[in-house]
Structure formats: C-alpha cells, structure tokens
Amino acid sequence: MVSSSEATVKLREVAKRYEDIVAVDYIDLDVKYGEILGILGPNGSGKTTTLKMILGLIKPDSGSVNVLGINTKDDPVAVKRQVGYVPETPRLYEFLTGLEYLDFIADIYGLSVSEKEARIKEYLVALELEGREGDMISSYSQGMKQKTALISAFLHKPKLLLLDEPLSGLDPRSARIVKDLLRKLTAQGITTIMSTHILEIAQAMCDRIAIMYEGKLLALGTMKELRQKARLPGSDLEDIFLKLTGTEDIRDVVEALLR
Amino acid sequence: MNWRNVLRLISVDVKSGRLVRGQRLRKYRERRIFQYLLYGGACVLGLIIGIGAGTFYAGVADPTLKAQFHQGALYLFLSFPSLVLISSLVFTMMSQIQRMGVKSSIQPPYWLPITWEEHTLASTLANIMGIPSIFLILLSSAIATVSIYLEQVPLAILTIFTLLPSAFLASTTTEIFRVLLARLIGAVYKSTGKAAIWVRFLGTMVFLVVFYIVWFSFTSGTGSIVLIQAVAGAQEAVWFVPYVWLGMVLAAFASGMLAQTLIFTLASLLFILILFYGAVKLNTRFGLYEAPAITVSRGVYAPKVGFLGKLGFSSLEAAVIKKDFKAFTRRRELMFVFIMPLVVILMPLMQYAGILGGPVPPEASRFLFALIVLAPAAMMAIMLGFMIIGSEGGSVWLFFSSPINARSLVKCKYAFVIILSFVVMSICSVIGILVTRPSPDIAIALLIESILLIFALGSVSLGAGIRGADFTEVPRPRMVRPLTVLVYGLLCLVFASAIFSPLFLHAVTMAYIPIPLPLPKMALSIAVVISAVIALVVTFVFYKIALKNAEQFLVKAEI
C-alpha cells in the first residue's frame, strides 16, 4: 500500500529490446499518486511497451518496475488486482453480450453480487450502452467495444489505470464523459497513465506529460515545464512535441508529396 | 458484362483459398506452376485410365461380354452430367463450409464499379476451380481416350461438352443456397430472439449429422456404385426435373433422336440462364445482407449466485468456466469440436440401422458399445485439452492482465474439459445402452473406464495445450501447434492403451476376444481396479505438469 506522498509507479533504468530494435532505452519514471500522466510519442517510440511493462505483461530486460509498492517481478498477480488496463486494440470475447462480458470481468476481479450489479448498471447508463447490453459484442461498433473495454477497466475500482489510446473510436459525448470521469477518479486518488496520439486531449487532461522518442524519455513535466524545456513560451503541445521529437520539418514532407 | 472484371474477380476469389490454407506470401507474384501441374497431372491420369480401360475392353474376346461392357460404358457416359452435378454440389458446398470457418470473409467489393452479374459469374466460376475442375479434366481426358476404343467419339465429345455446364449448374445452385441461407439465418435469429444462440448451435449440429450421413452413405461400402446405378436409372424417369436435362441431351443423342437432343440442349441452356439470373437477383437483394445482432438477454440485469460457486469454484474460476461454455456453443469454429464424437457415434449407429450394409452380428455388439461409450468422450477430452487455452486467441491479453494465477487457470480449464466430456459420455452411453443392450456388468465397467480415460487424457492434453498454445487467429484460429498435437496425441494413445489394457486382458482371458493367451482368467472388477490405478497416476502426474506449464505460461506472457 502506498501513501499519497509516494509515487504510484516507479521505473528505474528500465530497458527492453526486441532483437535489434530498442523499444525502451533505460528510462526512469515516477508517476505521482492521483495524477494523470500522458505518454506521447510517435509510432514505435516505446509508449505501449512501457505501459505493458508497468502491468507486467512484458518483462524488462533490465531495471525494475515498482507499482503501488510491489515489484511486478515479485507478485504480478497482486499488481494486476489493483490495475485497470485498456489495450490499444482491446480484443473482447465477441461471442458474449456486453452484459455477460462485464459480468465475467466483475467475477474475475471478485466483485460481490450487489457491487457488480450496481456498478455495471451505472456504467452502462453513463456510457450509453443501455439497450444494447444484451446484444452480442460481435455486433457492436468500434466505439461500443471501446466503451465496454473502458467499463471493464473501471469496474473493480482500480488504484491505477493504464489506458492505451482510451478515447479512440468514442463519440464526442462519450469521450467527454470518460474525460470527466477520469478527472473525478483522479480527485479520488486514482492514478492514470494514458498513452495517446491526440495532443489536444493530452494537453487538456493530463497533469504531466512524458514525451518518448525512439525508446527514450525526452521530456517529462507539466505544460509549463515542457514549454520552458522547448523554449517555446505560449506555444501549444503540438509545437512542443514536434520541436522536441525533431519532426518539425512537416512542410518539406507535404511539399515533397505534392510534387 | 465486363469480362476483364470477371477474370480479375475470379483471380481474387481463387486467392481467397489462401485464407483456408493459411498461406503467407512474401513475393509480389506467386508461382502458379504447382496449380498448372495439378491440372496437367489430372489430364495425364485421365489419359492413363482411358488407355487402361480401353485396352481392357479391346482384349475382351467374348462378344457377349464385350457388348455388356460397351453397354455399361454408354450407361456411364449418360450418367456423367448428373454425377458431375452431384459431386460439384458436394465440393462447392464443402468449400463454402470451409470458408465459414475462416475468420475473414470475402465481401463483394460493392464500392467498386463492378456489377452484380460480374460478381455472381466470377463467384460461381471461382467455386468450380480447384478440385471440381481437376475432376472435370480427369474425367474429360478419360472419356475422350476410352471413346476411341469404344468407337463412340461423337457421344464422348458431347459428354465432355455437358460436363462444364453441369459443374456450373451445381456452383450456381450453391451460390443461391449460400445467399438464401445467410438471409434465412438472419430471419431465424430475428424471430427466435433469445433462443437464437441455441437454434444456431442445434441447427449446426443437425446440418453436420445430415451431411455426414449422406457422405457416409455415398462413400462407404457399395454406396457409390448404388449411386451411379440410381442416377443412370432414375434420369429418364425424372426427365421433367431441369437438373437432369443435360443427361437427357446425351440419352437422346445416343438413341439417335436429334430433335429431342436439340430441345433438351436449348432447355438446359435456358435453365442455366434462369438459374444464373436468379442468383444475380438474389445477390443484388441480399448480397450485402448482414444478419441482425443476436440479442441474448433483455430486461433488468440481475446477477446470479452461480451453481459452480457452490461446488467450490471461486468467482474467477466459475466465470472462466461459464465463459468457455458459452464459447463452445456460440463460436462456430469451436462448435466443430463436436464433429468428432458425432462421426464416431454415427458409423456404428448407421451400421445398426442397416444403412452401411447387413445386420450387426451379436458378437460385435460388445465392441460397438465400447466404441460408443469410450471413444467420443475420450476424444472430446483430448481435443478440448489441446485447444482450451489456445482458443482464447487474441483475447488472451485479458488472462495476462487479470489477477488469475496458474492454480486457478488449470483448475477451471480442467474442470471445463471434464464437464463437457462427461456430457458427451452421458449422451453416448444412453444411446449405446439403448442400441446395443449390453449386460449390466459390462456397461458399468465401460462407463467407469470412460470416466478414467476422461480424467487421465484430459490432464495430459491440457498440459500439452498450455505448453503448445497458439493464439494465431488469422486466417483461422490455430489454437495449438501441430507438433504438440502429434507428440502428445501419440502419448494420449499410449496412455489410453495402458489404461484400457487390463480390460483388454480380461476380454482375452474370458475368451471374448479370440486370442489364445496362457493366462489365468482375470475378473472384471480386478481389471477395472488396475485400470483405475494407472489412470489416477497419469492424472496426478500430468495435472502437476499442467500446473507447472501454466506457471511458465503466465510468467512468460509477452503480448
């Protein structure tokens, strides 16, 4: 159990390689209790690998990952019990109905009958899945599947949320509900780490932002700190991101394509 | 009709066979030499068959016998269009069933400038590529060659010309059947509501049973000869059925009735056209039809305290068992696990019903009862054990990210294997007892034996299934590595033989099986006890192995 002054997640000298490719290159990261941390980075920068290492889905080649005071190597099941995870492309059991799936997830996390009944109903109403919960997931749209995956991550009231592109495929109303919900959960002390490509969402929602590039942690801090680091006062996250990742030569690329 | 579009679509459709075969291509152009070799091989084989049959015919000295052969060959010529029609129907429908099992379906590219006529024609022609066309080439080559010896070259040429339309007729019928079936299934789902899941499951089972009964009837024993005789004989009696008109063309030509030959030729062409445009109309209307969502439950959500919880399973374990039960009754690719027990039980039942030949001798009934009680349940335990972990497919991330430990994983998966195998055993036992009427002691002994096999083989295959799990889902779920199945399948066979050996010895010493062995008589009860000891040891050891494999599986989870 961690106190509110401690970091919920501690990564120390964590590295992961896939043969010749360096996915994560010796990063150190502390995620504070009750904050929303956004991880940004171009494709292949190591965001998803980092998230998976935090949950213990991928073993780091070196370094240590400590979640809620537990080393993921020592007791991965204890870590998983307290984490809610939504992968980038959640594969759900399509032969189950939405309700059956959530009931299954609630049982996996050992929720009591009354708890699961109340929470499933609440979330179904909140994310507007009511009326379709009895249909098989195979007939759901991408957004509905994403909502189901999000509910399944929230259902057991985890202490840490690991969300990989959580708002992908959601309609504006549902996206807003999820954003507000995450803010409220943060106020209750739940820590969230989310990876996203949508910079506006990261800027609006996250307390701190980590920018990853080629497996390295290029920058970490609040918007103000990032502006200072990039020496771009008053600029938005897009400009900061492009400057820090060295991918600001967009105009040349577009012109080359038009030629 | 844009013929280039048709050709391109055929090429795409034929390549969809890669989904079934699970081919992975890295080159821009694939080498088709193997395909051409197959067609060439069929042509050469037909030539050899034709020369062989012709030489045999030429060598017959007895004029009566020669006349009989000549008449028989002509009879066969006349039945070829109908035989090709039937075989093409079977092959094209089998191909559609195979495609149903493949995850990625082939959707008509409706957003491209392609008409439904082009799409339907391409789909129909592509369906007869592969085995049906190889069969056509072989047949044509053989007919052409043998006709020289029979001096029936004009009839042979006409026969060859009727074969392709026959295959086309069959393929068009399959196309119509496929579209109508998709629409019908959708309507059934809609009207049956909550029961749709069970309607689909039972419908699939009934379809498979009927399919296999027809298949066994035609392919076992004298079935195929009976079929040829029936087709040739019945053709003229049912001349009003358009499907036999191509055969009637040949019959009229062979009898020298040219006017009738012309009439049946024109009628056949008209029928093919009507059928094809019927398929086009159906495709236009329902080609992009998507079955409505299956609504399994409606109304207020009221979670239940499960029965499995009362049996000592934790909520997590019970949830996984319930989920697996739903998977095996709802996922089409998993429903096929029930085919093996069905096939095993169908053969002896058809034997009893007299479909596959004469009556069953009384001494064989004991063997058939053992087959019905032991084989399906044991096979079920082995198959389920192998595939139960790999069947998770891409959704396995949930197992890795949720708080499930090795002990719970093995416990719930093993329980599921045992429960479903018990269900199969119970059903088969009731059928076996009703059909073969065994003595009570034999019935009880074999039931115990079946239970022992389920426990032992279930633990062996589960351990292997965890170790050799393959979560690949595209082009179709693999579930377990082939090498694992081969190695552990053989191991299961060895253990099954070891467990059953005391009963075998009992049968030998009691002279139920006529093998002279200088051994004292072994009582049935002692045989069962020895069997149980062997089964318990196997179960215990392999359950431990399964636990160890599960620990490694969860630790090494890299997704």
Asked if residue A59 and residue A175 are part of one domain, the reply reads yes
Asked if residue A249 and residue A226 are part of one domain, the reply reads yes
User: Would residue A175 count as lying in a domain?
Assistant: yes
Asked if residue A235 and residue A133 are part of one domain, the reply reads no
Nearest CA to B344 out of B418, B424, B420 is that of B424
- Domain boundary (A138, A157, A176) is at A157
H/E stretch holding B509: helix B482-509
Q: Give residue B80's Cα distance to chain centre.
A: 25
Asked if residue B485 and residue B352 are part of one domain, the reply reads yes
Asked if residue B427 and residue B354 are part of one domain, the reply reads yes
Chain A contact for B558 (CB, 8 A cutoff): yes
Per-residue pLDDT of chain B (559 residues; tens, 9 = 90+): 888 888 888 887 777 666 656 555 555 556 667 777 888 999 999 999 999 988 988 888 888 888 888 888 887 888 888 888 888 888 888 777 766 655 445 567 777 778 889 989 998 898 888 888 888 999 999 999 998 988 888 888 999 999 999 999 999 999 898 888 888 888 887 787 778 888 888 888 888 788 777 777 666 655 556 666 666 667 777 788 888 889 889 888 888 889 999 999 999 999 999 999 999 999 888 877 777 777 777 767 777 767 888 888 888 999 999 999 999 888 877 888 888 788 888 777 777 776 666 666 766 777 888 888 999 999 999 999 999 999 998 888 888 888 899 999 999 999 999 999 999 999 999 988 988 888 898 899 999 999 999 999 999 999 999 999 988 877 677 889 999 999 999 999 999 999 999 988 888 777 666 676 666 777 888 999 999 999 999 999 999 999 999 998 887 765 5
CA B221-B218-B96 angle, to 5 degrees, is: 140
Q: Give residue B179's Cα distance to chain centre.
A: 21
Q: A234-259: per-residue pLDDT in tens?
A: 888 888 888 888 766 777 777 777 77
Q: How many domains does chain A have?
A: 2
B128 vs B242: CA distance, rounded Å: 20
Asked if residue A24 and residue A69 are part of one domain, the reply reads yes
Question: What pairing do the DSSP bridges indicate for beta strands A216-221 and A7-18?
Answer: unpaired
Asked if residue B336 and residue B373 are part of one domain, the reply reads yes
| B437: phi then psi, degrees, rounded to nearest 5 | 50, 65
Asked if residue A225 and residue A171 are part of one domain, the reply reads yes
Tell me the count of A-B CB pairs closer than 8 A. Answer: 107
User: Would residue A164 count as lying in a domain?
Assistant: yes
| B286: phi then psi, degrees, rounded to nearest 5 | -120, 5
User: Would residue B81 count as lying in a domain?
Assistant: yes
In chain A, count of helices (H) and strands (E)? Answer: 10, 10
B422 vs B428: CA distance, rounded Å: 10
Per-residue model confidence (pLDDT) at position B104: 47
C-alpha distances out from residue A88 to A85, A96, A149, Å = 10, 20, 10
- Domain boundary (A98, A125, A157) is at A157
Asked if residue B343 and residue B280 are part of one domain, the reply reads no
Nearest CA to B529 out of B513, B552, B550, B506 is that of B506
Contact criterion met (CB < 8 Å) for A91 and B395: yes
Asked if residue B281 and residue B346 are part of one domain, the reply reads no
Asked if residue B373 and residue B282 are part of one domain, the reply reads no
B217 vs B86: CA distance, rounded Å: 14
- Domain boundary (B238, B253, B286) is at B286
Chain B (387-426) residues lying within 8 Å, Cβ to Cβ, of chain A: 393-395, 397-398, 400-405
Residue A128 belongs to domain spanning:
90-157
Considering only CB atoms, which chain B residues are within 8 Å of A49? Answer: none
Q: Which residues contact B64 (CB under 8 A, 6 or more apart)?
A: none
Q: pTM for this structure?
A: 0.77
The DSSP-derived string for B88-156 is: HHHHHHHHHHHHHHSSS-----TTSS--HHHHHHHHHHHHTTTHHHHHHHHHHHHHHHHHHHHT-HHHH
Asked if residue A243 and residue A149 are part of one domain, the reply reads no
ipTM value for the complex: 0.80
Asked if residue B346 and residue B280 are part of one domain, the reply reads no
User: Would residue B354 count as lying in a domain?
Assistant: yes
- Domain boundary (B257, B286, B315) is at B286
CA B246-B248-B250 angle, to 5 degrees, is: 80
Q: How many domains does chain B have?
A: 2
B224 vs B333: CA distance, rounded Å: 30
Q: Tally the residues of chain B.
A: 559
DSSP B297: -
Asked if residue A104 and residue A76 are part of one domain, the reply reads no
Chain A contact for B310 (CB, 8 A cutoff): no
Asked if residue B282 and residue B324 are part of one domain, the reply reads no
Asked if residue A182 and residue A143 are part of one domain, the reply reads no
Per-residue model confidence (pLDDT) at position A194: 94
Chain B contact for A99 (CB, 8 A cutoff): yes
> HEC states along B240-260?
CCHHHHHHHHHHHHHCCCHHH
Asked if residue B185 and residue B313 are part of one domain, the reply reads no
Asked if residue B509 and residue B362 are part of one domain, the reply reads yes
Scanning the structure block, which residue is given the tokens 């029609």?
B85
Q: A116-142: per-residue pLDDT in tens?
A: 889 999 999 888 888 888 888 988 988
| CA of A49 vs chain B CAs: smallest distance (Å) | 9
Asked if residue B349 and residue B280 are part of one domain, the reply reads no
B157 vs B147: CA distance, rounded Å: 9
User: Would residue A189 count as lying in a domain?
Assistant: yes
User: Would residue B391 count as lying in a domain?
Assistant: yes
- Domain boundary (A134, A157, A180) is at A157
Determine the straight-line distance between the first and last CA of chain A, rounded to whole angstroms: 59
Asked if residue B476 and residue B409 are part of one domain, the reply reads yes
* Parts of chain A with a pLDDT under 70: 1-5, 247-248
User: Would residue A104 count as lying in a domain?
Assistant: yes
User: Would residue A2 count as lying in a domain?
Assistant: no
Q: Give residue A20's Cα distance to chain centre.
A: 26
Q: Which of B303, B322, B403 sits opposite A116 (nearest CB)?
A: B303
User: Would residue A1 count as lying in a domain?
Assistant: no
Residue B330 belongs to domain spanning:
307-555
With CA atoms as reference, the chain A residue closest to B306 would be A113
Q: Which of B314, B322, B402 sits opposite A80 (nearest CB)?
A: B402
User: Would residue A130 count as lying in a domain?
Assistant: yes
Asked if residue A219 and residue A97 are part of one domain, the reply reads no
Asked if residue A251 and residue A184 are part of one domain, the reply reads yes
User: Would residue A98 count as lying in a domain?
Assistant: yes
Asked if residue A185 and residue A60 are part of one domain, the reply reads yes
What is the CATH number for A63? 3.40.50.300
Asked if residue A145 and residue A113 are part of one domain, the reply reads yes
